[in-house]
Structure formats: C-alpha cells, structure tokens
Chain A
C-alpha cells in the first residue's frame, strides 16, 4: 500500500501546456502502471492535447469531461496565478493538490492552506516535486523521466519525506541500493510555509500497513522538526523508527542568510541545525551524519541484520 495516492488516483495538471508541465505529464503517464491524468487546464487553450491528455480552460470543464470527481491536481502555474488555480481546483472537489511552483508569498500559501482545510483537502508543497509510490504511480516531476525514476525508487517498507525534491531521489536511491525499498516518497517542499509537514503526514504513514520505518531529510529554518518531536511524544498511534538527515549545518554560522530553499534561513535559535538535531534526537530519532549511513541505521532500527 501507500499514502496519499495509489494506482487508481485520478489527477489533472494545471498549467499543462508549460514546458516543464508537458515533460511532467509525459513522465507520469509513462511511470509504473501509468498515471490516470484525466485532463489539463491552461486558460485559453481548450481543445488542445498534451501527450493525449485533453486540455481545458477551467477545472470545471475537466470534471465535466471526466464525468465525476477528480482526486488530485498538480499545479505548475506562475506564482502570481497559483493561489487562484489551487482554490479553483479545491472548489471543484479536488482533495489533493501538489504545488510545484516556487516563489509564492507566504500570505498566498496561508490562504490556500486555510481554504483547503475548510474543504477537507490537502496541499503538498509549494516548491516541491510531488509524490511517488515506487513502480505504481508518480504525481509530479519527482524522480524525472520514468526510466530514471525506476533506477532510484523501488517498492518496500520505508516512507520518505524531504524538504528537498532532489534529495528525495538521492536518499531513495541510496536506500534502494541497500535493498530497502520505499512505500511512498513525498517531496514536501522547501518553503517556510508548506501544506503538509512531517507531523501532518506521520499519521498517514502510521496507518499504512506497508510502512515500517521513516526517513526524513531536513534543513535549517522553521520549527517543523520541533512539531514532529511533539507529535511523536503526544499523538503517535504506531511509533515507527525514524532516521533523519540534516543538511546545511554550516548555516548556523551565517544567521539571516538564506541558502538552498526560501524556507531555509536561520532567524532564531530554534531554526539552527544544531538545535534541530538535538530536538530530533530527544524524540528518539536517529540523526545520520552522511546519507550513506541512512540504510544501516534503518536496518538497525528495524532489527534487520545488514
């Protein structure tokens, strides 16, 4: 099994005629059993098709064409139009929105998230590459073209969550090489405010029968590690072993400067790598010094002999 998506998930791509979106659509159609991309939206481009996926002017038209509710949407429109696109999708019943776009102001993200909460919908991202269930489906550019994604991702018991899209693949590839497949890998996004952070996805992984361990990639900035620690101590229903990797340790010496992702900036003591490592460890999470150590730690925590 998996979290968020499975072989039956239907989704649309908003901004489908953009260069990146055209590639992403191809990749999703090719990967695994082939994603059910039931339509695309680019205002003014109704009647075209992208790799056989029909293009419409509005989300409403895609729902009409599909003849029923659509599960998800991948949003790749420019930052100034993202908020409206996301709200449009949710207003038409979409329950899972993956926002690829970066450089969206926080105020807009907060509005989208609040709107999603009111409609029982979930947002992944912004500034993310999406979700992949190895060999089954991918929703977003995660892992790249189908044959590249197949090289890095294999099915198995490890849930992966990462603030960096590229590192989601690097870590999954390292796990795969060590014989540890992934149940679902989620690129959660690199911005200061994101739709679903670690603590919000943990309950899904805990409910998922195939997931036996979690690997997270994290960076300085924000308090989502503290929130994860709190969740594990207060709300967890099925404690899973967790291994974390923290990048950007050098940033502790450079407060106020942003590296890598918009959300990565040391503004206060709680944002630093060293503080976060301490918090993660105090919550029983193993923190790896190098990516290559991750598979060994996961095996240790699972009680598997390497």
Chain B
C-alpha cells in the first residue's frame, strides 16, 4: 500500500528524521496561508500516487503567497497519469548544497532488508546503480538482532562520505532502517535527502510503501494518518465490476470466489486457483481469445458464492459465454462449482449448455460434478484435457458462435434442481 508524499514525510518525521516546515493543503486558500506562514519562496507539489509529477507540471515554484495560491489552484485541477491529486504540499524552497539518496527495501533472495545509500541523490537509484555502481552503498541487516547505528555508518562510508556529513547522515539512515521494520514497509525511501547551505540535513521527498498484509497490525499509524480500511491504494482504482466481485467474495467466509479484475473481452472467465488462473488467462490469450475478466476460485466456496461470481461475469456487458476452468482441485469440490455455475445460468434465464463454453475442473468430487453437467448438456472435460486445450476449445466456440446473440431462454427458469446448498 503506497503512501502519499505528505504521509511519507509525516512517517519520517515521526521516526525522528528531519523534514522541512511543510504544509498540506486541499484548497488554494490553504496553500496561500501556508505560504504566508513560511514567509518566503515555496514549492507547490501535487500529491498523487504516481511518478512523473515534475514532467506533468505537478511541481511549481512560487515567490509570493499569491503565486502559491495560483499554482495550487492549477495543480489541484491537474490530472497526472489518470490520478487526481489528493492535495498539494507547500514546501519552503530549499537552498541545497548536496543531494543524497537513502532507502531500505527487502532482498527476497537474502531474506533480509537492505539499506541503500548514494551521494548522487535526486535521481532514480536503479539508474545510479547501473551507471555509477561505486556511488551506491549497500548493507543488509538482521530482523532479529538489535540494529546498530554502526551498520548505517558503514553503508554511508562505503561511498566515501566522511567528516560531519557522515556523522549527520548516519542517524538518519539508521532511523529509516528501524522504521522500515517497525511499520512493515516494503519500501522506505528519502530521495533526495539534502544537505542545505546552512549545513543541516532534511528529507526533501519521501516515498513509503506498507505491506498490505500488515495493515491490521499497523492500525494505530494508519489511523493517525487518516487512512481508512476502504482505501486500498491499488495501482489502479477498482472498477464497479471489481467492487461487485469483492461483494460476492464477502457473501460468506467459505473459500474464495473473487479477486476479480476487469478486462474488455467477450469470454467471461470463472477460473481458479492462484497459479491456475494465471496459466488459464495466458492460455485464453495465447489462443486468440479475449477475456472479459480475471478471477480466482479456491478453498471450496459455497454454491451460492460460485453462483454469485458466475452471475456477475455472465451479466457483464459484452460477455457472450463463460469458460469454467481450474487446475486439478483437491480442496475445492468440482460438484459445488458445477452446481454454482449452472444455477447462475438458470437464474439468469440462460441455457447452461449454451452459455458455458467449457467446464474443465478435474479433481475432488469430479464424478458427481460431471453427472450434473451431463444432465444439463454442458461440455465438460477431465484432466486428460490440458488447461491450454480447454482454453482453446472455449475460444473456438465463442469465435464460431460470435455473431449470434444469445437471448435468455424463457423455458429454463427453474433452479429447484440445483438450487439447494450442499452441506459440506
């Protein structure tokens, strides 16, 4: 979960990292007032969860409070990379002597956090690492032994920083390392960390990402920042279709039938589990199919939930047919998913045999599942048909059938035969 710059700075400040006397504004008037309080030239920075602010005109310099208000008004209206800003940060214009980079990330291979430091700040650290590797210091640190400031000092010293710069920067990097673990961050970055003309150090920009899994235990910090549970901060905002998918998944606590992502194709996918969904989505596309959605089923969801997901996909505008496919299941029951998708078709007035292009779920309770599918004339296959072959058949069906619109079949309104919940 990504934080806005103004939140990241607040977190840095809370951890004892020096920041400027900045303010956060959501109106031009607030921006003017903050600029007046600062009493000198300021920088107006758009608060969006995306990069490229400078290029897009989301960072403006102002000499007077009037100018600050004017810029704030414009920046508040400026969409950047599809995102509207949450507000603007009003920052005193800094007299910079030197820019540095300080960051902490996870190293998944070493399974430890790693500090990164460079005396070439203000630019992308990956670029520095590639072009000027001697300007990047690195140091892993333990998650169970106490963190010593000397570890940060060693990283700073690696790039040749010494003198009072070394002694000033060391505690800043050390605090960043400690906050990284304390707040379950996946990225904690101060870039640039600057030395001002007066010799003091401040974080001029900060970027932090918290692990989603840790949100429950970081409630105190999130409350303090005013970040509610409803704010998912995903890379792209959830669509109405995706939100409806979440609702289906929260119908009950049995299994998963959700993780829906919207695409604009005509083949609805009712697929699972994690790896199976990834494989099947690729397979549909590899055979020239156009998926209407991505989703995941697993952990043995109820008939009701499976039906809810299938209905959601069937009702999505532009969906002609659905393909119900999973890798071999051992926990999820084939018959339950079969009942769910047939129930969804019937309740919407569709003929399951028409609407379900293919059903390929082998595994637990498959005999029972296949019996139900047979009864409704649904095309199904077992494990002898590969995931890719099943996807190919589904795509072939929807393409050969593409021009014919399928009208709801009024003859099939009853759900009595498959409607009952099976008690597992």
Contacts and interface: CB of A to CB of B under 8 A. Distances in A.
Contacts of A223: 108-109
Contact of A110 (B113, B276, B331, B387): B113
B126 A259 contact: no
Interface in B362-418: 363-364, 383-384, 386-389
A113 B142 CA distance: 11
Given A170-B327, A227-B109, A259-B294, A219 B275 contact: yes
A260 B278 contact: yes
A9 to B, nearest CB: 21
Nearest to A219: B278
Contacts of A193: 106, 108, 111
Contact of B383 (A107, A173, A290): A173
Contacts of B186: 106, 192
A114 B278 CA distance: 31
Contact of A192 (B108, B274, B277, B279): B108
B387 A291 contact: yes
A143 B331 CA distance: 9
A268 B274 contact: no
Contacts of B277: 259-260
Contact of B143 (A114, A177, A248, A259): A114
B265 to A, nearest CB: 12
A144 interface: yes
Interface string B342-359: 000000000000000000
B235 A257 contact: yes
Interface in A166-200: 166-167, 169-170, 173-174, 177, 190, 192-193, 197
Interface in B188-241: 211-214, 216-217, 234-236
Interface in B119-177: 126, 142-144
A164 B331 contact: no
B363 A256 contact: no
Interface residues on A, range: 35 or more
B104 to A, nearest CB: 12
A69 interface: no
A302 to B, nearest CB: 21
Nearest to B298: A166
B286 interface: yes
A170 B214 CA distance: 32
B27 interface: no
B307 interface: no
B274 A260 contact: yes
Nearest to B299: A20
Contacts of A143: 330
A170 B109 contact: no
Interface in A116-165: 141-145, 148-149, 152, 162-165
A292 B112 CA distance: 37
Contacts of A142: 330
Contacts of B331: 20, 23, 141, 144
Given A114-B142, A224-B109, A264-B278, A103 B328 contact: no
Contacts of B389: 292
Nearest to A292: B386
A256 B286 CA distance: 23
Contacts of B281: 248, 250
A105 B111 contact: no
B285 interface: yes
Contacts of A247: 275, 278-279, 282
Given A107-B184, A248-B278, A79 B328 contact: no
Given A105-B211, A290-B283, A166 B278 contact: no
B294 A141 contact: no
With most chain A CB atoms within 10 A of its CB, the pick from B126, B296, B327 is: B327
Given A144-B331, A193-B108, A290 B388 contact: yes
B273 interface: yes
A63 interface: no
A249 interface: yes
Contacts of B386: 174, 290-292
Nearest to A164: B275
Contact of A259 (B106, B211, B261, B326): B261
A50 interface: no
Contact of B106 (A106, A148, A219): A106
With most chain B CB atoms within 10 A of its CB, the pick from A103, A170, A224 is: A170
With most chain A CB atoms within 10 A of its CB, the pick from B211, B279, B283, B389 is: B279
B275 A106 contact: no
A109 B111 contact: yes
A11 interface: no
Interface in B314-337: 326-331
B251 interface: no
B56 interface: no
A238 to B, nearest CB: 22
Contact of B364 (A114, A145, A263): A145
A107 B384 contact: no
A249 B277 CA distance: 12
A53 interface: no
B363 A144 contact: yes
Nearest to B187: A267
B274 A166 contact: yes
A224 B296 CA distance: 24
Nearest to A102: B213
Given A166-B298, A193-B111, 10 more contacts: A105-B211, A106-B213, A152-B383, A164-B273, A166-B328, A248-B281, A260-B296, A263-B108, A290-B386, A290-B387
* Minimum-distance CB pairs A-B, first 3: A144-B330, A164-B275, A256-B235
Interface of B: 106, 108-109, 111-113, 126, 142-144, 181, 184, 186, 211-214, 216-217, 234-236, 259, 261, 272-279, 281-283, 285-286, 294, 296, 298, 326-331, 363-364, 383-384, 386-389
17 contacts: A79-B213, A80-B216, A148-B364, A166-B298, A167-B327, A170-B276, A170-B327, A190-B274, A192-B186, A193-B106, A193-B108, A223-B108, A224-B108, A248-B281, A249-B282, A256-B236, A264-B278
Interface of A: 20, 23, 79-80, 103-107, 109-111, 113-115, 141-145, 148-149, 152, 162-167, 169-170, 173-174, 177, 190, 192-193, 197, 217, 219, 222-224, 227, 245, 247-251, 254-257, 259-264, 268, 289-292
